Amino acid sequence: MTKKWSKRKVFRTVWFSLVAILFIWNWNTFQSHNLPENTFLDSDVVSVIETDDEISFKSITSENELEVVFFQGGLTDPKAYAPLCRKIAENGFNCHLIKMDWRLPQYDYQKVFELIDLNGGNFVIGGHSQGAKMAAQLVYENPNVFKGLFLMGTSHPRDIDLSFENIPCIKLYADYDGLASVEEVMENKNKLPKGSKLILINGGNHSQFGYLGKLLMDSSPVISLEEQQKQTYNNLILFIDRIKSDI
């Protein structure tokens, strides 16, 4: 009897240890990794302000009226998107990186109205993964508020239809994305605003849209993080610049 109990105890200990290791490993992939050293430092062109609810990257040298709102992915560390937001600000556009409570955009996305006077300015909104989903949801719920919508690494909009919305939209997707496959992206293409531009990041995956670890179920990329970030940034800036010229 004692021997059986000991075997059962050993089995349970090993089992729970493996579960704990898997949880810690998985959680670690959602953290930000290898951020550039200057990400949160003020410079001659960018001022960084961090609060409990957002990280704002303010352009010092530009007086562009157009600003950017960025929604983090689900469970991901919002700081993983800070390098991209900083580069947007360096190009002359104030960028607001919103921190979601419990890192869950689907429950906290409307807080942005408490943080920013979205009706009193010109804003482009978007995000990554679940953050992109909820940015699309916000546009759906608040037509005519935003000047543009960008979506990164997501199959959404899936449960809503934006095809009748008159808003510039860009979707960036990757062929090695294990969480939002090319097939899933194409399935919902007809729900995007008319005239939306879809851009494939060849060799990219889901995780490298941010400075993250390789997320569970994601595929391995064949391009570097730096290359995927560069392509993402270049396409977003072209998109934002076109909207600016139309304001």
* Cα 247 from Cα 240, distance rounded (Å): 11
User: Is there a domain that residue 4 lies in?
Assistant: no
User: Is there a domain that residue 8 lies in?
Assistant: no
* Cα 87 from Cα 48, distance rounded (Å): 12
* Cα 206 from Cα 215, distance rounded (Å): 8
User: Is there a domain that residue 24 lies in?
Assistant: no
The pLDDT value given to residue 1: 47
- Decide: 71 and 98 in contact? Cβ < 8 Å: yes
Q: Is 8 exposed, middle or buried (0-12, 13-18, 19+ CB in 10 A)?
A: exposed
The pLDDT value given to residue 14: 52
Q: How confident is the model at residue 20 (pLDDT cuts 50, 70, 90)?
A: very low
* Cα 100 from Cα 238, distance rounded (Å): 27
Is the pLDDT at 103 greater than 90? The verdict is yes
The token pair at 199 is: 């851009």
The pLDDT value given to residue 18: 43
pTM for this model (two decimals)? 0.91
Q: How confident is the model at residue 12 (pLDDT cuts 50, 70, 90)?
A: low
User: Is there a domain that residue 238 lies in?
Assistant: yes
Give the percent of the chain with pLDDT over 90.
84
Mean pLDDT throughout 56-67? 93
Mean pLDDT throughout 28-34? 91
Is the pLDDT at 97 greater than 90? The verdict is yes
- Decide: 26 and 216 in contact? Cβ < 8 Å: yes
Mean pLDDT throughout 28-36? 92
Instruction: CATH number of the domain at 82, please.
Output: 3.40.50.1820
Instruction: List the domain range (segments joined by +) for residue 213.
Output: 31-246
Q: How confident is the model at residue 25 (pLDDT cuts 50, 70, 90)?
A: very low
* Total domain count, the chain: 1
Q: Which residue has the higher pLDDT, 7 or 140?
A: 140
Is the pLDDT at 21 greater than 60? The verdict is no
Mean pLDDT throughout 63-71? 94
- Decide: 171 and 198 in contact? Cβ < 8 Å: yes
Which 8-state DSSP code applies to residue 129?
T
By C-alpha distance, which of 162, 206, 151, 203 is closest to 180? Answer: 206
Between the alpha carbon of residue 161 and those of residues 106, 120, 139, the distances in Å are: 17, 26, 11
Give the percent of the chain with pLDDT over 70.
89
- Decide: 64 and 42 in contact? Cβ < 8 Å: no
* Cα 125 from Cα 110, distance rounded (Å): 13
Q: Which residues are 66's β-sheet partners?
A: 122
* Lowest pLDDT segment from 61-70, 152-161, 177-186: 61-70
User: Is there a domain that residue 223 lies in?
Assistant: yes
Cα 118 off chain centre by: 19
Residue with tokens 């995927």: 228
Between the alpha carbon of residue 17 and those of residues 3, 149, 215, the distances in Å are: 21, 44, 21
User: Is there a domain that residue 2 lies in?
Assistant: no
* Cα 196 from Cα 169, distance rounded (Å): 5
User: Is there a domain that residue 25 lies in?
Assistant: no
User: Is there a domain that residue 186 lies in?
Assistant: yes
- Decide: 92 and 64 in contact? Cβ < 8 Å: yes
